[in-house]
Structure 1
Amino acid sequence: MIKNLSEVWIGDMYRPPSEAYSLILQVTVGCSHNKCTFCDMYKSKKFSIKPIEQIKREIEYFRKEVKYADRIFLADGDAMIIPTEKLLEILAYIKEIFPECKRISSYATHKSIQLKTDEELKKIRESGISLLYIGLESGDDKVLEKINKGVTAAEHAALCRKAKKAGFLLSVTFIVGVLGKKDWTDHAIKTGELISEIEPDFVGLLTLRVKEGTELHNEYLRGEFQKADGIEILKETEKIIENINVKAPVVFRTNHASNYLSLGGTFPQDKERLLSEIKSVLERGTIIERRYREL
């Protein structure tokens, strides 16, 4: 018998901004990859998949605690890595216990999509998961190798197409400032090009934060990495947007707590407006920066 939330959630919980009002059901602990040099989210956790009976007890616990849940987010870092038959059993039980649930979503990694066949992905989609969040981070292979992502941009594109073919909505994220003060031009251009190739349903840009306990933080302490400043971040964002050329609607956001400037729109129609907003802020920022140096 589960008595309180501390018996359900293991460690800190993370979810995308758009899942702020979702019920978070932790079906895995940690991240199946957990090797990215910049990420500290799951460093304290050893990856595991919770036993099916434990997951069912937790679903029952939330049913007693929550009157209504039309959205459920499956945590931790990669619920899609769960073997298909077990995942389908979890989804069936969610539907049974939470019949009002209209949307189930999850983080996914390149590994979890790669391991599943087209037919398995289709079954998972039909059984309830409709939205996948994937951290692509960059469209530049050199950056992906540097941050130890374990996948190339071309492989990411292929796996995203595979997920879209199965019927999933895709929300992908990229990191601005991932190279710090080093030349980010290729990263920005190729990121815009990868977005254009995939045409995901949603795109979010996050700004890099150097977290203690990560390999990147050690690089920072050794003086091997210098953080980009606000103006550099905005210029990098501008370059990414300049290189996004899509025909299908793509919802774009920079509304994460890490971002310097909150932007929102839908490509292709809002591209010029977004660039205009950045240009306006950059112009004001340059003036402020110049006046500050003159003091």
Structure 2
Amino acid sequence: MYFDNAEGPVFRPPSEAYSFILRVTVGCSHNKCTYCNMYRSVKFRVRPMDEIMAQINAAKRYGQQIRRIFLADGNALVLSTDKLLNILGVLRAEFPRLQRVSCYAGPKDMLNKTPAELAALRDAGLGLVYFGLESGDDAVLTHVNKGVSAAEAIAAGRRMVAAGIKLSVMVIAGLGGKDGSSRHAYNTAMAVNAIRPNMLSALTLMLYRGCELLHEFERGRFLPLSPAEIMGELYEMVRAIELPPDSHCLFRSNHISNHVALAATLPKDKEQLLQDIAAAQAQLANLTDWDPYNNVE
């Protein structure tokens, strides 16, 4: 649900399917990751309050049905803390049944907020942040131009957890290609262990039209994993994730990119999840023909 006709496409996480999508920015302030073309068609800009209020006013007629609001586009946490607090205050006032406000955030956005600012945002109603870690391996992060090191990404995630804002971490299976697969799996697991997120989503690399990684593949400089190899990498990643026994981390692979939808709670369901991944790998190994573009037009 969104009420906006600004330039550019609209994206949201799978779990925000029934949320009011409030576009507080257009595009992504980084917009240089070589695996992503989500916002390549638009120039990033922060939206003025009159554009934001126009969306809120249009949604007010559905106020009794709106319980969740997702702040779009690519990394709403890039906004100043004062502006975010202003927006959150308006949302609390206008939507009486509001239960949760969430957004995407880049690692630099989180590092640029002080603990006091994050605490203020938490108290104002920011309940969940989606963070595209993608990989915990420095070589992979550098190759895909993520803009931060693994240490910086881990520090960003830990800062959010320490602030008491729920954190959903996204990783991309296959991002290291064949050459970096083992290293990517292990170091990403180590990053997850260090961050201890509330939620962990495993996506699968898709070679999008218009992104540099696709061009590398077409020139023979990047070797993507087969579906069975993706499952093998995911198995190694999950096997290396060691969260404290009292942790409650929801694991999902329900993105459109995934070959198989998986669900578990870590660490409680870890062994069952490994069995499910192994079964999926055995099934996918029977494929004799698969699309390296992952069926993306």
Deviations 1:67-88 (A, max 9, x none): 5100000000111111111111
Q: Look up the equivalent residue of 2:270 and give its one-letter code.
A: K
Structure-2 residue corresponding to 1:15:
12
Structure-2 residue corresponding to 1:96:
93
In structure 1, runs of 5+ residues without a counterpart are 291-295
Q: Look up the equivalent residue of 2:154 and give its one-letter code.
A: A
Structure-2 residue corresponding to 1:187:
184
Structure-1 residue corresponding to 2:81:
84
Q: Is 1:73 aligned to residue 75 of structure 2?
A: no
Distance in 1 separating the partners of 2:20 and 2:53:
15
Shift of 1:183: 3.6
Deviations 1:11-70 (A, max 9, x none): 211000100110100000001111100000011111111101221122011113555100
Distance in 2 separating the partners of 1:166 and 1:48:
27
Q: Is 1:255 aligned to residue 268 of structure 2?
A: no
Q: Look up the equivalent residue of 1:46 and give its one-letter code.
A: K
Given candidates 104, 108, 117, the residue that maps to 1:107 is 104
Superposed CA RMSD:
1.6
Shift of 1:10: 3.0
TM-score of the aligned structures, taking structure 2 as reference length: 0.92
Given candidates 206, 209, 218, the residue that maps to 2:206 is 209
Query: Share of identical aligned residues, percent?
Result: 42
Q: Is 1:135 aligned to residue 170 of structure 2?
A: no
Distance in 1 separating the partners of 2:284 and 2:66:
43
The structure having more radius of gyration, on CA atoms, is 1
Shift of 1:147: 0.5
Distance in 1 separating the partners of 2:206 and 2:277:
21
Assess, with a 3 A threshold, how the Cα gap between structure 1 residues 289 and 38 changes in structure 2: closer, same or farther.
Answer: closer
Residue pair 2:189, 2:237 contacting (<8 A) in 1 also: yes
Q: Which moved more, 1:273-282 or 1:164-173?
A: 273-282
Structure-1 residue corresponding to 2:144:
147
Secondary structure in 2 aligned to 1:181?
helix
Distance in 1 separating the partners of 2:24 and 2:85:
12
Distance in 2 separating the partners of 1:278 and 1:66:
41
Q: Look up the equivalent residue of 2:111 and give its one-letter code.
A: Q
Q: Is 1:27 aligned to residue 24 of structure 2?
A: yes
Shift of 1:227: 2.3
Secondary structure in 2 aligned to 1:133?
strand
Residue pair 2:63, 2:96 contacting (<8 A) in 1 also: no
Secondary structure in 2 aligned to 1:148?
coil
Counterparts of 1:43-54 in structure 2, within 5 Å, are 43-54=40-51
Distance in 1 separating the partners of 2:172 and 2:142:
14
Q: Look up the equivalent residue of 2:164 and give its one-letter code.
A: G
Q: Which moved more, 1:131-140 or 1:213-222?
A: 213-222
Q: Look up the equivalent residue of 2:159 and give its one-letter code.
A: K
Structure-2 residue corresponding to 1:126:
123
Q: Look up the equivalent residue of 2:41 and give its one-letter code.
A: S
Structure-2 residue corresponding to 1:56:
53
Shift of 1:157: 1.3
TM-score of the aligned structures, taking structure 1 as reference length: 0.92
Assess, with a 3 A threshold, how the Cα gap between structure 1 residues 69 and 5 changes in structure 2: closer, same or farther.
Answer: closer
Deviations 1:181-235 (A, max 9, x none): 3241011011111111111000000000001111112212212123211111010
Q: Look up the equivalent residue of 1:157 and give its one-letter code.
A: I
Q: Is 1:156 aligned to residue 153 of structure 2?
A: yes
Residue pair 2:108, 2:156 contacting (<8 A) in 1 also: no
Deviations 1:82-129 (A, max 9, x none): 111111111111111112111000001111112111111111111111
Structure-2 residue corresponding to 1:233:
230
Structure-2 residue corresponding to 1:243:
240
